[in-house]
């Protein structure tokens, strides 16, 4: 009985550690702060997302967010850089 308890506990620790250390690409409050500091009119998550509060791993992007994701892939970057927003063609209309 003790052995199975340790196995379950060990598996739970490994799983929770993996969840904490996984590098999922998602927007953060820091991205919003950085974008505001750079002079962009960020008014919340809907600046790049469809949802007001996107869920991790289930976010849908608006046109700006889709563009940022495409830039991330094009530049082979690990995460989105909010400074790319200066090149976003949708704001130049």
Q: Residue 76: its pLDDT value, please?
A: 96
Q: Label residue 86 by pLDDT band (50, 70, 90).
A: very high
User: What would the two tokens of residue 55 be?
Assistant: 């869920």
Q: Per residue in 66-79, pLDDT tens?
A: 999 999 999 999 99
Higher pLDDT, 23 or 53: 53
β-pair partners for 63: none
Higher pLDDT, 26 or 27: 27
Contacts of 88 (CB under 8 A, 6+ apart): 64, 67, 68
> Would you say residue 43 lies in a domain?
yes
Cα–Cα distances in Å, from 80 out to 17, 35, 55, 57, 62?
24, 11, 17, 15, 15
> Would you say residue 72 lies in a domain?
yes
Check if the beta carbon of residue 80 is closer than 8 Å to that of residue 28.
no
Q: Residue 91: its pLDDT value, please?
A: 77
pTM for this model (two decimals):
0.67
> Could you list the residue range(s) of the whole structural domain that residue 56 is in?
25-92
> Would you say residue 20 lies in a domain?
no
Q: How many domains does the chain have?
A: 1
Q: Residue 59: its pLDDT value, please?
A: 85
Q: Per residue in 30-58, pLDDT tens?
A: 999 999 999 999 999 999 999 888 887 78
Q: Residue 4: its pLDDT value, please?
A: 67
> Would you say residue 41 lies in a domain?
yes
């Amino acid at each position: 009985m003790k052995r199975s308890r340790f196995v379950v506990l060990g598996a739970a620790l490994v799983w929770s550690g993996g969840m904490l250390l996984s590098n999922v690409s998602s927007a953060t409050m820091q991205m919003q702060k950085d974008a505001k500091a750079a002079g962009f009119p960020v008014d919340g998550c809907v600046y790049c997302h469809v949802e007001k509060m996107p869920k991790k791993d289930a976010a849908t992007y608006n046109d700006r967010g889709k563009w940022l994701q495409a830039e991330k892939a094009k530049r082979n970057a690990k995460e989105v850089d909010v400074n790319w927003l200066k090149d976003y063609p949708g704001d130049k209309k």
